[in-house]
Structure 1
Amino acid sequence: MVKFRKKKPVLILLFIAALLSSSFGSAYAAANLEPIKAFFNRGATFVLNGEAWQPKDANGKPMSAIYYNGVNYLPVRAVAEALKVPVNFDAAAQKIYIGDQPGAETPIFAMPMEIDNIYVVATRDPGETRVNDKPYKQVLKIDQYGDIVFTLDRKYKRLVLDAAIVSPGEHDVEFTLYNASEAAGNTALTALETHTANLEDSSTRMVFNVAGLEKIKIHVQSHNLNPYIYARIMDTSYFDNETGASAAER
Structure 2
Amino acid sequence: MKKKTAAALIGTGMFFSMGVGAFAASNLQPIQAFLNTGLKIQVNGQSFTSSSAPITYNSTTYLPLRSVADALDVPVRYDAAKGLVQLGEQTQGVSIAAGFSDMYHTKEPAKTTYAGKDYKEVYYNDGDGDREGSFMLHPNKKYATLVLQAAALDKDITKFVVLDSDTRKELKSTSIARGEGLKTITVNISGSKELYVYGELKDGGKLFVPLTTSYYK
TM range (shorter): 0.5 to 0.7
Using the size of structure 2 for normalisation, the TM-score is 0.65
Equivalence map 1:34-45=2 (5 Å):
38-45=32-39
Pick the structure with greater CA Rg. Answer: 1
Q: Decide which structure has greater helix share.
A: 1
Unaligned runs of 5+ in 2: 1-23
Contact 2:146 2:186 in 1 (8 A): yes
Corresponding residue of 1:161: 149
Q: Decide which structure has greater strand share.
A: 2
Deviation at 1:194, TM superposition (A): 0.4
Give the length in aligned residue pairs. Answer: 185
Deviation at 1:229, TM superposition (A): 0.5
What secondary structure, in the 3-state scheme, does the structure 2 residue paired with 1:109 have?
A: coil
Equivalence map 1:95-174=2 (5 Å):
95-103=84-92, 105-110=93-98, 115=102, 117=103, 121-143=104-126, 144=129, 145=131, 146-154=133-141, 155-165=143-153, 169=154, 171-174=155-158
Corresponding residue of 1:89: 78
Matched, 1:219 2:208: no
Q: Deviations over 1:147-189 (max 9, x none)?
A: 1222223413132314352xxx2x22345123233223xx45x
Matched, 1:193 2:173: yes
Instruction: Classify 1:82/1:96 alpha carbon distance in 2 versus 1 (closer, same or farther; 3 Å).
Output: same
Deviation at 1:82, TM superposition (A): 5.0
Deviation at 1:102, TM superposition (A): 2.0
- 2:186 aligned to which of 208, 211, 224: 208
Contact 1:152 1:213 in 2 (8 A): no
Q: Name the CA distance, whole Å, in 2 between partners of 1:158 and 1:112.
A: 14
Q: Name the CA distance, whole Å, in 2 between partners of 1:213 and 1:95.
A: 20
Q: Which has the higher contact order (CA 8 A, sep 6+)?
A: 2
Instruction: Classify 1:216/1:37 alpha carbon distance in 2 versus 1 (closer, same or farther; 3 Å).
Output: closer
Deviation at 1:142, TM superposition (A): 1.2
Aligned AA (1:74): L
Corresponding residue of 1:176: 160
Using the size of structure 1 for normalisation, the TM-score is 0.58
Aligned-residue identity in percent: 21
Corresponding residue of 1:67: 56
Moved over 6 A (4+): none
Q: Deviations over 1:188-217 (max 9, x none)?
A: 5xx732031423x5x313222233251333
